[in-house]
Amino acid sequence: MAEACQSAFPTVTEPEILGYLTDVNQIGYSRDIGRSFTLGGRIYHIFGDTFCKNSGGEFVGLVSNTASMVMDKTKPLESSYLCIEENGMVEPLLPLIDEEIRLQQEQPKQRVTLWNFSGVVEVFPGVGLMYEKGVEHKDSDPTHVYHGIGLARITVDSQTGKLCTCRVPGLLFAEDEPRFGSFSTHIEGDYVYLYSLTPEAGQVVLARVEKCLAHCRDAYQHWNGLGWVQGDWSCSVPMFTDLPQGAVFRTAMFGKGRTYVLVGVSKWGDSKIRLGLAERAEGPWDVREVASAKGINYPNDYMYCIYPHEWATEGEDISLMVTWSEHWPGGVVAARLKFQVDDMVAKGPSATDEL
Protein backbone atom coordinates (compact mmCIF):
# COMPACT_ATOMS: atom_id res chain seq x y z
CA MET A 1 0.00 0.00 0.00
CA ALA A 2 3.01 2.29 -0.39
CA GLU A 3 1.23 4.12 -3.22
CA ALA A 4 -0.71 6.04 -0.55
CA CYS A 5 2.33 8.28 0.03
CA GLN A 6 4.13 10.27 -2.64
CA SER A 7 7.26 11.29 -0.70
CA ALA A 8 9.82 9.07 0.98
CA PHE A 9 8.58 7.49 4.18
CA PRO A 10 9.85 9.30 7.30
CA THR A 11 12.58 7.68 9.34
CA VAL A 12 12.92 8.03 13.10
CA THR A 13 16.00 8.57 15.21
CA GLU A 14 16.40 6.68 18.48
CA PRO A 15 13.49 7.72 20.75
CA GLU A 16 14.53 10.28 23.35
CA ILE A 17 13.24 9.15 26.75
CA LEU A 18 11.68 12.08 28.62
CA GLY A 19 10.63 10.30 31.82
CA TYR A 20 7.47 8.97 33.41
CA LEU A 21 4.07 10.63 33.39
CA THR A 22 3.87 11.84 36.98
CA ASP A 23 1.35 13.41 39.34
CA VAL A 24 2.07 16.78 40.92
CA ASN A 25 1.50 15.16 44.33
CA GLN A 26 4.73 13.18 43.76
CA ILE A 27 3.04 9.84 44.53
CA GLY A 28 4.54 7.17 42.29
CA TYR A 29 1.45 5.48 40.87
CA SER A 30 1.78 2.29 38.87
CA ARG A 31 -0.66 2.66 35.97
CA ASP A 32 -0.99 2.06 32.26
CA ILE A 33 -2.62 3.33 29.02
CA GLY A 34 -1.74 7.03 29.43
CA ARG A 35 -3.61 8.30 26.39
CA SER A 36 -4.46 12.02 26.32
CA PHE A 37 -7.49 13.97 25.16
CA THR A 38 -8.71 17.57 25.06
CA LEU A 39 -12.06 18.65 26.47
CA GLY A 40 -13.33 22.15 27.20
CA GLY A 41 -9.95 23.63 26.28
CA ARG A 42 -8.14 21.48 28.86
CA ILE A 43 -5.84 18.50 28.40
CA TYR A 44 -6.23 15.23 30.29
CA HIS A 45 -4.41 11.93 30.57
CA ILE A 46 -6.56 8.83 30.85
CA PHE A 47 -5.15 5.74 32.57
CA GLY A 48 -6.19 2.14 32.96
CA ASP A 49 -5.49 0.06 36.06
CA THR A 50 -4.22 2.53 38.67
CA PHE A 51 -2.62 1.22 41.87
CA CYS A 52 -3.56 3.90 44.38
CA LYS A 53 -1.30 4.89 47.26
CA ASN A 54 -1.61 7.16 50.25
CA SER A 55 0.76 10.03 50.98
CA GLY A 56 3.11 7.57 52.70
CA GLY A 57 3.42 5.48 49.56
CA GLU A 58 1.36 2.55 50.90
CA PHE A 59 -0.95 0.68 48.51
CA VAL A 60 -4.62 1.35 49.32
CA GLY A 61 -6.53 -0.11 46.39
CA LEU A 62 -6.90 -0.67 42.66
CA VAL A 63 -9.05 1.42 40.29
CA SER A 64 -9.53 0.26 36.68
CA ASN A 65 -9.59 3.77 35.17
CA THR A 66 -8.57 7.28 36.19
CA ALA A 67 -8.05 10.66 34.51
CA SER A 68 -5.72 13.50 35.47
CA MET A 69 -5.52 17.06 34.16
CA VAL A 70 -2.40 18.61 32.65
CA MET A 71 -1.93 21.83 34.61
CA ASP A 72 0.77 23.37 32.44
CA LYS A 73 1.06 22.52 28.73
CA THR A 74 4.77 23.32 28.83
CA LYS A 75 5.16 20.47 31.33
CA PRO A 76 3.37 17.67 29.44
CA LEU A 77 4.62 14.90 31.74
CA GLU A 78 2.99 16.42 34.83
CA SER A 79 -0.71 16.20 35.61
CA SER A 80 -2.96 16.23 38.65
CA TYR A 81 -5.75 14.03 39.94
CA LEU A 82 -8.55 16.42 40.87
CA CYS A 83 -10.42 14.02 43.18
CA ILE A 84 -8.58 11.85 45.71
CA GLU A 85 -10.24 10.42 48.81
CA GLU A 86 -8.66 10.90 52.24
CA ASN A 87 -7.34 7.33 52.26
CA GLY A 88 -5.57 7.89 48.93
CA MET A 89 -8.04 6.21 46.57
CA VAL A 90 -8.30 8.06 43.26
CA GLU A 91 -11.82 8.69 42.01
CA PRO A 92 -12.44 6.72 38.79
CA LEU A 93 -13.43 8.49 35.61
CA LEU A 94 -15.92 5.70 34.91
CA PRO A 95 -17.62 4.71 38.17
CA LEU A 96 -19.14 1.28 38.74
CA ILE A 97 -22.90 0.91 38.83
CA ASP A 98 -24.73 -0.80 41.72
CA GLU A 99 -24.96 -4.13 39.88
CA GLU A 100 -21.19 -4.20 39.32
CA ILE A 101 -20.48 -3.25 42.93
CA ARG A 102 -22.71 -6.07 44.16
CA LEU A 103 -20.97 -8.54 41.87
CA GLN A 104 -17.59 -7.68 43.36
CA GLN A 105 -18.94 -7.86 46.89
CA GLU A 106 -20.60 -11.23 46.37
CA GLN A 107 -17.76 -12.69 44.31
CA PRO A 108 -14.52 -11.14 45.60
CA LYS A 109 -12.40 -13.02 43.06
CA GLN A 110 -14.08 -11.15 40.23
CA ARG A 111 -13.30 -7.59 39.28
CA VAL A 112 -15.23 -5.41 36.86
CA THR A 113 -12.90 -3.39 34.65
CA LEU A 114 -13.82 -0.37 32.54
CA TRP A 115 -10.90 0.46 30.27
CA ASN A 116 -10.70 3.13 27.60
CA PHE A 117 -8.04 2.80 24.91
CA SER A 118 -9.53 5.11 22.29
CA GLY A 119 -9.69 8.44 24.06
CA VAL A 120 -12.52 10.96 24.36
CA VAL A 121 -14.04 12.89 21.47
CA GLU A 122 -15.52 16.33 22.05
CA VAL A 123 -18.88 16.33 20.29
CA PHE A 124 -19.91 19.74 21.66
CA PRO A 125 -17.87 22.35 23.59
CA GLY A 126 -17.18 20.87 27.00
CA VAL A 127 -19.11 17.66 26.26
CA GLY A 128 -17.35 14.47 25.28
CA LEU A 129 -18.23 10.88 24.41
CA MET A 130 -16.07 7.99 25.51
CA TYR A 131 -16.13 4.45 24.25
CA GLU A 132 -15.29 2.00 27.00
CA LYS A 133 -14.72 -1.72 27.38
CA GLY A 134 -16.97 -3.40 29.90
CA VAL A 135 -14.99 -6.46 31.03
CA GLU A 136 -14.39 -8.66 34.03
CA HIS A 137 -11.43 -10.39 35.64
CA LYS A 138 -12.17 -13.94 36.71
CA ASP A 139 -10.24 -16.44 38.79
CA SER A 140 -10.44 -18.91 35.92
CA ASP A 141 -9.21 -19.58 32.41
CA PRO A 142 -9.36 -17.24 30.59
CA THR A 143 -8.53 -14.74 33.31
CA HIS A 144 -10.03 -11.82 31.41
CA VAL A 145 -13.42 -11.98 29.72
CA TYR A 146 -14.52 -9.23 27.35
CA HIS A 147 -18.21 -8.28 27.61
CA GLY A 148 -18.84 -5.45 25.16
CA ILE A 149 -18.64 -1.76 24.33
CA GLY A 150 -20.51 0.86 26.31
CA LEU A 151 -20.94 4.58 25.91
CA ALA A 152 -20.35 7.35 28.43
CA ARG A 153 -21.07 11.07 28.32
CA ILE A 154 -18.51 13.36 29.92
CA THR A 155 -18.86 17.01 30.85
CA VAL A 156 -16.18 19.32 32.18
CA ASP A 157 -16.66 21.92 34.90
CA SER A 158 -15.57 25.18 33.26
CA GLN A 159 -14.29 26.56 36.57
CA THR A 160 -12.38 23.63 38.06
CA GLY A 161 -11.76 21.34 35.09
CA LYS A 162 -13.29 18.43 36.99
CA LEU A 163 -14.84 15.76 34.80
CA CYS A 164 -18.31 14.37 35.41
CA THR A 165 -19.22 11.09 33.72
CA CYS A 166 -22.60 9.54 33.07
CA ARG A 167 -22.59 6.01 31.69
CA VAL A 168 -25.36 5.18 29.22
CA PRO A 169 -27.20 2.12 30.64
CA GLY A 170 -26.35 -1.23 29.08
CA LEU A 171 -23.81 -2.10 26.42
CA LEU A 172 -24.09 -0.70 22.90
CA PHE A 173 -22.26 -3.57 21.20
CA ALA A 174 -21.87 -7.18 22.33
CA GLU A 175 -18.77 -9.33 22.73
CA ASP A 176 -19.22 -11.01 19.32
CA GLU A 177 -19.28 -7.70 17.43
CA PRO A 178 -16.42 -5.33 16.59
CA ARG A 179 -15.26 -3.27 19.54
CA PHE A 180 -16.44 -0.04 17.96
CA GLY A 181 -14.26 2.85 19.04
CA SER A 182 -11.97 0.58 21.04
CA PHE A 183 -8.84 1.49 19.05
CA SER A 184 -9.09 5.19 18.16
CA THR A 185 -11.78 7.83 17.67
CA HIS A 186 -11.76 11.33 16.21
CA ILE A 187 -14.22 13.98 15.04
CA GLU A 188 -14.47 15.00 11.42
CA GLY A 189 -17.27 17.38 10.48
CA ASP A 190 -20.55 16.03 11.86
CA TYR A 191 -19.21 12.50 12.30
CA VAL A 192 -17.35 10.49 14.88
CA TYR A 193 -14.87 8.17 13.15
CA LEU A 194 -14.18 4.95 15.03
CA TYR A 195 -11.28 2.61 14.37
CA SER A 196 -12.38 -0.66 15.91
CA LEU A 197 -10.89 -4.04 16.73
CA THR A 198 -12.79 -6.99 15.26
CA PRO A 199 -13.56 -10.26 17.06
CA GLU A 200 -10.74 -11.70 14.98
CA ALA A 201 -7.76 -10.39 16.95
CA GLY A 202 -5.46 -8.06 15.12
CA GLN A 203 -7.81 -6.53 12.52
CA VAL A 204 -8.92 -2.91 12.77
CA VAL A 205 -11.96 -1.75 10.78
CA LEU A 206 -13.50 1.70 10.40
CA ALA A 207 -16.99 2.94 11.24
CA ARG A 208 -18.54 6.36 11.55
CA VAL A 209 -21.68 7.79 13.10
CA GLU A 210 -23.24 11.23 13.34
CA LYS A 211 -22.27 12.90 16.60
CA CYS A 212 -25.86 13.25 17.74
CA LEU A 213 -26.62 9.57 17.01
CA ALA A 214 -23.68 7.88 18.72
CA HIS A 215 -26.07 6.15 21.14
CA CYS A 216 -28.03 4.52 18.27
CA ARG A 217 -26.34 1.35 17.05
CA ASP A 218 -28.38 1.22 13.83
CA ALA A 219 -26.97 4.61 12.79
CA TYR A 220 -23.39 3.35 12.51
CA GLN A 221 -21.93 3.22 9.01
CA HIS A 222 -19.14 0.85 8.01
CA TRP A 223 -16.40 1.26 5.41
CA ASN A 224 -16.38 -1.63 2.91
CA GLY A 225 -13.47 -0.42 0.81
CA LEU A 226 -15.65 1.43 -1.69
CA GLY A 227 -18.15 3.36 0.39
CA TRP A 228 -20.15 3.52 3.61
CA VAL A 229 -22.76 0.85 4.41
CA GLN A 230 -25.20 1.42 7.23
CA GLY A 231 -26.02 -1.28 9.75
CA ASP A 232 -24.00 -4.22 8.38
CA TRP A 233 -20.52 -4.38 9.85
CA SER A 234 -19.77 -7.76 8.25
CA CYS A 235 -18.85 -5.97 5.02
CA SER A 236 -16.05 -4.00 6.71
CA VAL A 237 -12.52 -4.25 5.33
CA PRO A 238 -9.42 -4.00 7.55
CA MET A 239 -7.65 -0.65 7.74
CA PHE A 240 -4.59 -2.29 9.29
CA THR A 241 -3.72 -5.48 11.13
CA ASP A 242 -1.65 -6.74 14.06
CA LEU A 243 -2.06 -3.52 16.07
CA PRO A 244 -3.85 -3.91 19.43
CA GLN A 245 -3.42 -0.27 20.51
CA GLY A 246 -2.69 3.03 18.82
CA ALA A 247 -4.18 6.33 17.71
CA VAL A 248 -5.05 8.09 14.47
CA PHE A 249 -4.86 11.87 14.20
CA ARG A 250 -4.64 14.58 11.55
CA THR A 251 -1.57 16.73 11.06
CA ALA A 252 0.32 18.63 8.35
CA MET A 253 3.76 17.63 9.64
CA PHE A 254 4.36 15.04 6.91
CA GLY A 255 3.13 17.13 4.02
CA LYS A 256 0.33 16.99 1.49
CA GLY A 257 -1.20 13.62 0.74
CA ARG A 258 -0.48 12.06 4.13
CA THR A 259 -2.29 14.14 6.70
CA TYR A 260 -3.72 11.12 8.54
CA VAL A 261 -1.16 9.62 10.88
CA LEU A 262 -1.25 6.43 12.91
CA VAL A 263 1.06 5.67 15.83
CA GLY A 264 0.66 2.26 17.40
CA VAL A 265 2.32 -0.87 18.72
CA SER A 266 2.80 -4.34 17.29
CA LYS A 267 0.73 -7.14 18.81
CA TRP A 268 3.71 -9.49 18.85
CA GLY A 269 5.09 -8.34 22.21
CA ASP A 270 8.22 -6.95 20.57
CA SER A 271 7.83 -3.28 21.67
CA LYS A 272 7.95 -2.12 18.05
CA ILE A 273 6.50 1.31 17.26
CA ARG A 274 4.45 1.44 14.07
CA LEU A 275 3.91 4.61 12.02
CA GLY A 276 1.14 4.77 9.44
CA LEU A 277 0.36 7.45 6.86
CA ALA A 278 -2.69 8.00 4.67
CA GLU A 279 -4.38 10.71 2.65
CA ARG A 280 -7.84 9.85 3.95
CA ALA A 281 -9.28 8.30 7.08
CA GLU A 282 -10.40 5.34 4.96
CA GLY A 283 -6.87 4.74 3.68
CA PRO A 284 -5.11 3.12 1.97
CA TRP A 285 -2.63 3.05 4.83
CA ASP A 286 1.11 2.64 4.59
CA VAL A 287 2.16 1.23 7.99
CA ARG A 288 5.78 0.52 8.87
CA GLU A 289 7.94 -0.26 11.88
CA VAL A 290 10.04 2.79 12.74
CA ALA A 291 11.51 2.37 16.25
CA SER A 292 11.50 0.38 19.47
CA ALA A 293 10.03 1.36 22.84
CA LYS A 294 12.11 0.83 25.97
CA GLY A 295 11.24 0.93 29.64
CA ILE A 296 12.97 2.98 32.32
CA ASN A 297 12.87 1.08 35.60
CA TYR A 298 11.31 -2.05 34.10
CA PRO A 299 12.91 -2.51 30.67
CA ASN A 300 12.93 -6.30 30.45
CA ASP A 301 9.28 -6.92 29.55
CA TYR A 302 7.61 -5.72 26.36
CA MET A 303 6.04 -2.25 26.14
CA TYR A 304 2.39 -1.73 25.17
CA CYS A 305 -0.25 1.02 24.76
CA ILE A 306 1.87 3.28 22.53
CA TYR A 307 0.11 6.60 21.88
CA PRO A 308 0.94 9.96 20.26
CA HIS A 309 0.36 13.29 22.00
CA GLU A 310 0.35 15.79 19.16
CA TRP A 311 -0.57 18.71 21.46
CA ALA A 312 2.86 18.34 23.11
CA THR A 313 4.78 18.95 19.87
CA GLU A 314 7.13 21.92 20.17
CA GLY A 315 10.11 23.51 18.45
CA GLU A 316 11.01 23.60 14.79
CA ASP A 317 12.00 19.94 14.51
CA ILE A 318 9.50 17.51 13.06
CA SER A 319 8.93 15.60 16.27
CA LEU A 320 6.17 14.02 18.30
CA MET A 321 5.78 13.10 21.96
CA VAL A 322 4.62 9.52 22.44
CA THR A 323 4.02 7.38 25.50
CA TRP A 324 4.02 3.66 26.22
CA SER A 325 3.26 1.49 29.22
CA GLU A 326 5.53 -0.72 31.27
CA HIS A 327 4.08 -3.76 32.97
CA TRP A 328 3.28 -3.64 36.69
CA PRO A 329 4.80 -2.24 38.85
CA GLY A 330 5.95 0.19 36.19
CA GLY A 331 4.31 3.29 34.79
CA VAL A 332 3.74 5.25 31.60
CA VAL A 333 6.93 6.33 29.84
CA ALA A 334 7.10 9.46 27.69
CA ALA A 335 9.51 9.85 24.79
CA ARG A 336 10.09 12.11 21.81
CA LEU A 337 10.28 10.80 18.27
CA LYS A 338 12.26 12.95 15.85
CA PHE A 339 11.48 12.37 12.21
CA GLN A 340 13.77 12.70 9.24
CA VAL A 341 11.85 13.54 6.08
CA ASP A 342 12.75 14.50 2.53
CA ASP A 343 13.35 18.12 1.57
CA MET A 344 9.95 18.53 -0.07
CA VAL A 345 8.14 17.72 3.15
CA ALA A 346 10.57 19.66 5.34
CA LYS A 347 9.81 22.83 3.35
CA GLY A 348 6.06 22.16 3.43
CA PRO A 349 3.44 23.11 6.01
CA SER A 350 4.19 22.82 9.69
CA ALA A 351 2.38 20.50 12.11
CA THR A 352 0.31 23.39 13.41
CA ASP A 353 -0.89 24.67 10.03
CA GLU A 354 -4.59 24.38 9.30
CA LEU A 355 -5.50 21.26 7.35
| Residues 258-306: tens digit of each pLDDT | 999 999 998 999 999 999 999 999 999 999 999 999 999 998 899 999 9
Other beta carbons less than 10 A from residue 203's beta carbon: 18
Per-residue pLDDT of 42-94, as tens digits, reads 999 999 999 999 999 999 999 999 999 999 999 999 999 999 999 999 999 99
What's residue 109's pLDDT?
A: 85
User: Which of 261, 282, 280 minimizes the C-alpha distance to 339?
Assistant: 261
Q: Between residues 93 and 131, which one has the greater pLDDT? A: 93
Q: State yes or no: pLDDT of 204 exceeds 50.
A: yes
User: Which of 210, 177, 175, 172 minimizes the C-alpha distance to 193?
Assistant: 210
